[in-house]
Structure 1
Amino acid sequence: MDQPPDLFDAIVMAEERYHGEGYQEGYAEGSCLGLTEGRRHGVSHGANVGSEIGCYQGFAFTWKCLLSECTTEKDSKKRRMLDSLLGMMQKFPYADPTYAQLHEDLDRIRGKFKQVCSLLSVQPNFRVGPGRSALSF
């Protein structure tokens, strides 16, 4: 003897069924939006880091050219410091976003840049903001 489905049971269980369906739809949409937002944030942050290192590199190459004519011991020390800074930037893992010590290496480059600026008696002002990045002296 088959009993017909209980109408009250369908009504009582409707809330649980709709809750489960809504959760699944929300989870799928949130996963997609999370990936999109994460990618956009990564691109923006990567561009800022690249802009900062590019400014440091241009600074170092320019000063190295300016000091190439000078032959004093003090200028030799400045060139060695610039070479050290350029070497650090050359070893920086631009193409590996999973590099575990990315932030530590970036902090070392920033510290070396400040050290070079102090040695050259230059006051840098690096500003990164929405739609602009600049390194002025």
Structure 2
Amino acid sequence: MAAAAGDESDFLDSIALAEERFHGEGYQEGYSEGNHVGITEGKRYGFICGTKMGLEMAGYYGFAFTWKYILQNTPDTKSSKRMKTLDSLLRMIKNFPYEDPLYDKLHEDLDAVRAKFKQISSLLNVVPDLKIRAEKSELLF
């Protein structure tokens, strides 16, 4: 009977340990799956945000490049100031850190480009309507 009592004790211990083991395994599986899903969703969200930012910058670049072309043969003083501001905007766009998503001043630089865009829009006396969508972007006047 002593052997039977030992077997019963081992059986109960294995049940108690199985619960702990299954809890631990379930936790690890859940953690791994959650981590994988989080990384996948993070990459997708980053891709969408990066695409929108790229489209926005491309819209600003197209705007500045077009207006620079339009104003290049206008010799008046206002055009000179406008050209300098357009050159400044184009330089900011060119130097924007597109390849470094961990750049700590990314949003500050983006805000500076937006401010320069508003400034040149005011100097040109135009009210652009820049629509940014992941599938299509457009600039209307």
Secondary structure of 2:98's counterpart equals coil
Distance in 2 (alpha carbons) for counterparts of 1:39 and 1:18: 31
Match of 1:69 in 2: 73
Select between 13-22 and 89-98 the one with higher mean Cα deviation: 13-22
TM-score by length of 2: 0.89
Letter in 1 for 2:10: D
Moved more, 127-136 or 46-55: 127-136
Pick aligned residue for 1:109 from 110, 113, 117: 113
Take 1:93 and 1:118, find their aligned partners in 2: how far apart are those partners?
26
Give the equivalent residue in structure 2 for 1:16.
20
- Do the aligned residues in 1 keep the contact of 2:82 with 2:123 (CA within 8 Å)? yes
Q: 2:46 aligns with which of 12, 31, 42?
A: 42
The alpha-carbon distance between structure 1 residues 53 and 71, as it changes in their structure 2 partners (threshold 3 A), is same
TM-score normalized with structure 1 length: 0.91
Structure 2 counterpart of 1:25: 29
SS at 2:99 equivalent: coil
Do the aligned partners of residues 30 and 45 (structure 1) sit closer, same or farther apart at CA in structure 2, a change above 3 Å counting? same
Structure number with greater CO (CA < 8 Å, separation at least 6) is 2
Computing the radius of gyration from Cα coordinates, the structure with the larger value is 2
- Unaligned 5+ residue runs, structure 2? none
Q: Which whole-Å CA distance do the structure 1 matches of 2:46 and 2:16 have between them?
A: 46
How many residue pairs end up in the alignment?
Answer: 137
